[in-house]
Amino acid sequence: MRVVFLGAPGVGKGTQADRIAAQFKVLKISTGDLLREAVRNQTALGIEAKNFMDQGKLVPDSVVIGLVRNKLADPSSAKGFVLDGFPRTVLQAEELGKALKAAQAPLDRVVNFEVSREDIIKRLSGRRSCPKCQATFHVEFAPSKTGHTCDRCGEVLVQRNDDKPEAIETRLKVYEEQTAPLIKYYGNQRLLSQLNASGSVDTVFEALFGVLAPYTKI
């Protein structure tokens, strides 16, 4: 199964990508997670990316394309993958297409997660993240047991810089301008499935399962 999850920030792509990757035993490739790891480890790439990320802007194409190429070349992606947060520009989509064509492993499906702008803002602004194990919570919809520490590892939860109001505005604008054109791009390639992602995590997972089941050998 080789799929791309498309959609604005805050639509729940990452949460569903975790579940789909576990269910179908495929690799989750999240450029956001890879970049945050590079920032934490203070690698040259992380230092370059941090400013863009804190402001809610896209990291340069060449950087993220390099990251994804490495992951696709890794044997762990041989059984399939879920791409979460990549591609985000038409150039990234074209480069992905070239890499997969060379590997004779074309995409099976691109799922576009649809959530209203109002709900996206609620989801992003209430999100709290664990800086240690990356678990995420929501102050209203999925609070941690104590409200301020991680249920999984006990670390104090934080609000990501890019989940603060100004950065959220920028991220949504960047999405409209640079990422939304991919809906048409993949629609033209007859790869696109639309998914109503406004329900609960379980409801959305069920619908997603239905969309993806034909592309697995389970």
* Residues found near ligand AMP in the complex (CB under 6 A): 9, 31-32, 35, 52-53, 56-59, 64, 85-86, 88, 92, 162, 171
Nearest distance, CB of residue 162 and ligand AMP, angstroms: 5
Nearest distance, CB of residue 156 and ligand AMP, angstroms: 20
Show the tokens assigned to 38. Answer: 């590079």
Nearest distance, CB of residue 5 and ligand AMP, angstroms: 10
Phi, psi at residue 90, to the nearest 5°? -65, -40
Per annotation, catalytic residue among 2, 36, 71, 88: 88
| Alpha helix (H) residue ranges in the chain | 13-24, 31-40, 44-55, 61-73, 90-102, 117-125, 165-174, 181-188, 201-212
Per annotation, catalytic residue among 109, 122, 160, 164: 160
Nearest distance, CB of residue 4 and ligand AMP, angstroms: 11
Give catalytic status of residue 36 as yes or no.
Answer: no
Give catalytic status of residue 88 as yes or no.
Answer: yes
* List of E strands, 74-150: 81-84, 109-114, 127-129, 136-138
Give catalytic status of residue 25 as yes or no.
Answer: no
Per annotation, catalytic residue among 13, 71, 123, 128: 13
Give catalytic status of residue 19 as yes or no.
Answer: no
For residue 146, give the amino acid letter: T
CA terminus-to-terminus distance, the chain: 11
Tokens 């048409």, residue?
A: 184
Do residues 115 and 204 touch, judged by C-beta distance below 8 A?
no
Residue with Cβ nearer ligand AMP (160 or 216): 160
Per annotation, catalytic residue among 28, 36, 123, 171: 171
Which residue, judged by CB position, is nearest to ligand AMP in the bound state? Answer: 32
Residues recognised as catalytic: 13, 88, 127, 160, 171
